[in-house]
Structure 1
Amino acid sequence: MPTSDDTSRTAADPAGAAARTAAQIESWLADFDAAGACAAHLLCDRHDPSAIAFTFVEPDLSARDLTYGDLAEASKRLAAALAARGVAAGDNVAVLMGKRFELVVTLLAIWRLGAVHVPLFTAFATPAIEMRVRAAGVRLVVTEPSQHGKIERLLRDGVTALVTGPDFDALVTGGAPPAEDAAVGGSGTLIRLFTSGTTGEPKGVPVPLKALAAFSCYMHYGLDVTAEDVFWNAADPGWAYGLYYGIVGPLALGRRNLLLNAGFTAESTIAVLRAFGVTNFAAAPTVYRALRRESTDGVRLRRASSAGEPLTPDVPAWAAGALGAEVRDHYGQTEHGMVIANAWHPDLAAPVKPGSMGRPLPGFTAGVVGDTIALDATASPLMWFGGYDGAPEKTAERFTPDGRWYLTGDVGTADADGHYFFSARDDDLILMAGYRISPLDVESALITHPAVADVAVVGRPDELRGEVVEAFVVLAGGAAGSPDLVADLQQRVRTGYSAHAYPRRVHFVDSLPKTPSGKVQRFLLRRLDG
């Protein structure tokens, strides 16, 4: 928990803390929003070459350190190989890979060329991958053998692949690096990350280089990651929180992060926390809820942070004794990263109000427009979102008509002290274990089954995961509900959309509640008893 020094420093010298914060924000913007900003220099080459950038942890807890010097050398050589394959500035390159050495090297190589990284989550099934690759105009996918089968149709359509293994290893150890890295400037696109809504296909979010100023702010003020910390962001880099604050943010500040090349289990998480002496940990609430069921002897954290879904009050109450630090709730979105937090940095640390997400981070000004949490675009120098790819109407929906307020789409309130409280989402996105799942994507997979005539998907509260996916299915004539059909439908989602998004429960119903215009009334489905 924060010490008395943490919480009293700002109270004792509020003007000094504000001045330090303002100067720090100006410094980040000077670096990351400069006209000649170069991602490779800012994320790698300017750091001490002997410092460790990442520690890659295997399931057996064996580990491999990657220094900034080694990262620079390997990524330069891979960049040369990618350039020889025709990758140039502005090209979109998709990466479908787990949390391994080759992932980080590939990202730096892409950015050295001024190209754009398109993240692909390894749990996605083939249709979800194909949609993103085609929407971004990707011509090259860098992947690993276990994922290669998901892109076979794309390869027949002219997309090429680079697969990890001996040939890949030869590229990062041989060949001449390019003479000069590309400088894309603060407005140049670094990442093209797709996010789902409840209508239409996932929307592409271009992440510019200047967004690194906002990511640095959260790393420094929200998470309070110091040079002395053993930091571990356990989120997957196929999604915003893991990518922004498990890869890009640590690189921007020159901080080390652990990357565990394995799926989540409570046992393996505790083993890593113990074995590596983690002091600063960030994860979704579902991770902490799972850890509650295990012994945490030997785990002592200095900072513990949660993001991705609302944090239930039982977790902070348990964590202070079991982990050595309370878990603090933080809030953000793919479109801008983390913007509101119960910040850990001594210049901002304050006692947490129960149920609050905290206050706006430096560089952001928030408010409530109607009943929606919003960001003041005219008074938020770290705000970087400029709109979705090729979707002006969807972009316009995110802003008030005068362009001043960005509307998060999340309903909430703020008290007189500036603390924000999340109430609900104004759409139907499901937040499960930190992942945002679109009901439409799950429904689109289920409706392809010949036994399904109609279907609706909702999120239902779950003690461990926050929410789980539940499906309400109207059967086609002659079909009968059965355990075998439930299993078949769940598998249909795993293979047709994503392994993590299958419905944990399937209900067979005679009809779905709909408005006169035919829109499913999901709020009525949520009221039905399980």
Structure 2
Amino acid sequence: MNRTPEQQVEDLIARHSRHEPLVSVLCETHDRAAVAFRFVDADMRCTELTHGELADRSRQLAAGLVGIGLGRGDRVATLMDKSEDYVATLLAIWRLGAVHVPLFTAFAYAAIELRVSGSKAKALVFDDRYRSNLRLDGGEDLHSSGITMIAAGEAETGEIALADLFRDVPPEGIPAPAIGPDDPIIHIFTSGTTGKAKGVVVPKSALACFEVYGRFALDLRKDDVFWNAADPGWAYGLYFAILLPMLSGIPSLLLKPRFSAELAVALLETFEVTNFAGAPTIYRALMACERQPSGVNLRCASSAGEPLTPDVNQWAPAALGVAVHDQYGQTEASMLINNHQHPDLRSPLKPGSMGRPMPGWTAEILAEDEDRPLPANEKGRLAFDLERSPLAWFSGYTGISAQEAGKISADGRWYITGDVAYRDEDGDFFFASRDDDVIIMAGYRIGPFDIESVLVDHPAVAEAAVVARPDRSKGEIVAAYVVLNKDRAPSNDLAAELQAWVKTRYSAHAYPRVVEFVETLPRTPAGKIQRYRLRQLQSA
């Protein structure tokens, strides 16, 4: 007898409520000969890693990590490209019962240091090509912070070579601790608007949510050729290009070089991908690519990270053979509302709709001034009823309770997303706007405060405010409004200098594409920057 989606949710929650070694859930229950990951080079050559090889490599590395004093609950950060060493490192971390801290490879020193110190990481594993990201010229250096530095490649003085940590161990290796549903497995950071990036601790119970998404939103099947093009330095890539394939036993394609539209088209064609996921900016890059897809074999195409613009699905059916299904989620909760691919939940796509709540979640639109559900077609706060959302797992940010952060209502009933939406008469949800100032560029959520903090450290800058500016290819780009010190004058050279300043001190992906010099910034009587007025200037 087929079980209903709600019953399947109950099954997965029960499965991930067990106390057991995480490595058994992710790897050791699968056939050792089955492929876990396929790593694709720029020339489309592919290296396969089986579950047995992954289990053995992680066992050897875990022994080495224990040897340098790492163990259960310790935070271990990674700044690595997609490679065999990368996935072996992740599984070794989880084999110990330790906690993974993901770092995006485009991050510069400030963004890395914030996450390393904020998570209290005891070790950092990095590809040696990113060593320069770990220090400021003539200034701070993570090597002097007391953290254990592990280099995947050539190790310098004060570093440990990752290759030297792979130890010969018996098949049983070191004992892997049993992990319970509330035990942490990931410590990831998401950007806010009124403070520094916030730490989110992901418990083992969240794995149920990941599996439900794969089953119903992606309709991931055992015979799929699956590629999620998102970077695993961020939540969507880590949750669904790494963890979901490990959980499901379905191989994941990982493109080793940096993403380009030309490489993406070649990969889709060469490997006959059947199930593809990525941010809208990836689809827009494919649309603009001189080499258009030909003879692709897609069964499902999914999009997440920002609202999907209608032009994508004007192009996709002819170019890809399928329409792209828009889906909505957050780092703090995983995926929440989807245009589901599974036949039992699939419904006609509506332009602009992000779909319907995923099994295990119950969504409502609340009034602005009180926690009261609104009728259809009225815009309000998108929220989830925690009394009827058994997949919910978010409990707060590092050092900040969920209620203090405004993410859960005072009575504990509602998870408040911070987004504005509405629901039509059929129960389909539509994204309207954000009620905060987060910028979503190419699927990445960027907090203005982080960039503003770096800009005001420049000797020429007195004040700075950062907002989103609409952009056809990236959805939004970062625009900076800068007040200069009295002894400095605006110039194109200074604008370029400020862009480079953010690239090297915060992140290469989050620098302001536009720098506007202004005499003053609009503020409230209390002194808070009125970013909405800066956005109005852009549309004037």
For residue 501 of structure 1, give the secondary structure of its aligned residue in structure 2: coil
The reply to whether residue 91 of structure 1 matches residue 74 of structure 2 is: yes
Q: Are positions 1:254 and 2:249 aligned together?
A: yes
SS of the equivalent of 1:499 reads coil
Q: Who is 2:343 aligned against?
A: 346
Q: CA deviation at 1:170?
A: 4.9
State yes or no: 1:502 paired with 2:518: no
Contact 2:63–2:167 under 8 Å retained in 1: no
Instruction: Assess if the C-alpha contact under 8 Å between 1:342 and 1:359 holds in 2.
Output: yes
Q: Report Cα offsets for 1:7-27 as digits up to 9, x if no partner.
A: xxxxxxxxx87x431332122
More helix by share: 1
Q: Secondary structure at the match of 1:186?
A: coil
Instruction: Indicate the residue corresponding to 1:411 in structure 2.
Output: 420
Q: Which moved more, 1:165-174 or 1:394-403?
A: 165-174
Aligned-pair distance for 1:367?
0.7
Residues 1:205 and 2:200 are matched in the alignment: yes
- TM normalised by structure 2 equals 0.92
Q: For the residues of structure 2 that align with 1:179 and 1:456, how far apart are their CA atoms?
A: 51
Paired position in structure 2 for 1:480: 489
- The correspondence for 1:158, drawn from 132, 146, 151, is 146
Are 2:63 and 2:174, in contact at CA under 8 Å, matched by a contact in 1?
no
Distance 1:299 1:317 in 2: 17
Q: Which residue identity is paired with 1:62? A: R
For residues 87-486 of structure 1, what are the structure 2 equivalents within 5 Å? 87-151=70-134, 153-165=141-153, 167-172=161-166, 174-176=168-170, 178-294=173-289, 295-370=292-367, 371-392=380-401, 395-486=404-495
> Compared with structure 1, are the counterparts of its residues 94 and 394 closer, same or farther at alpha carbon in structure 2 (3 Å cutoff)?
farther
- CA–CA distance in structure 1, aligned partners of residues 442 and 70 of structure 2: 36
Unaligned runs of 5+ in 2: 136-140, 155-160, 368-379
> For the residues of structure 1 that align with 2:402 and 2:103, how far apart are their CA atoms?
25
1:8: which partner in 2? none
Q: Is the 8 A contact 2:396 2:402 kept in 1?
A: no
Q: How does 1:31-70 map to 2 (within 5 A)?
A: 31-34=15-18, 36-70=19-53
The 1:480–1:415 alpha-carbon spacing in structure 2 relative to 1, beyond 3 Å, is same
Segment of structure 1 superposing worse, 137-146 or 159-168: 159-168
Aligned residues: 513
Deviation at 1:150, TM superposition (A): 2.9
Residue 169 (structure 1) shift? 3.4
Query: Once the 2 structures are TM-superposed, how far is the Cα of residue 175 of structure 1 from its aligned partner?
Result: 4.0
Q: For 1:115 and 1:326, how far apart are their aligned partners in 2?
A: 40
Shift of 1:507: 0.9
Query: Does the 8 A contact of 2:386 with 2:392 survive in 1?
Result: yes
Give the distance between the partners of 2:524 and 2:396, measured in 1 at CA: 31
Structure-2 separation of matches of 1:432 and 1:419: 25
Cα drift, residue 156 of structure 1: 1.1
Q: TM-score, normalised by structure 1?
A: 0.94
Contact 1:74 1:173 survives alignment (8 Å) = no
Query: What amino acid maps onto 2:528 in structure 1?
Result: K
Mapped to 1, the partners of 2:132 and 2:260 lie a distance apart of 26
Runs in 1 of length 4+ with deviation above 6 angstroms? Answer: none
Deviation, structure 1 residue 513: 1.3
Rounded Cα–Cα distance in structure 2 between residues aligned with 1:229 and 1:399: 37
Cα displacement string for residues 300-324 of structure 1 (whole angstroms, at most 9, x for unaligned residues): 3111000000000110121011001
SS across alignment from 1:397: coil
Note the C-alpha offset of 1:393: 6.6
RMSD: 1.5
SS of residue matched to 1:87: coil
SS in 2 for 1:500: coil
* Contact 2:403/2:409 (8 A) holds in 1: no
Q: Distance in 1 between matches of 2:245 and 2:387?
A: 28
For 2:321 and 2:123, how far apart are their aligned partners in 1? 45
How many Å apart are 1:478 and its aligned residue?
2.7
Shift of 1:277: 1.0
Question: Greater shift after overlay, 150-159 or 494-503?
Answer: 150-159
TM-fit CA distance, 1:394: 6.0
TM-superposed deviation, 1:415: 1.7
Q: What is the CA distance between 1:173 and its match in structure 2? A: 6.3
* Contact 1:514–1:520 (CA under 8 A) maintained in structure 2: yes
| Counterpart-to-counterpart distance in 2, 1:85 and 1:178 | 16
Contact 2:228-2:278 within 8 A present in 1 as well: yes
The worse-fitting range, judged by mean Cα deviation, of 24-33 and 340-349 is: 24-33
Q: Is there any run of 5+ residues in structure 1 with no aligned partner, and where?
A: 1-15
Task: Compute the displacement of 1:276 (Å).
Answer: 1.1
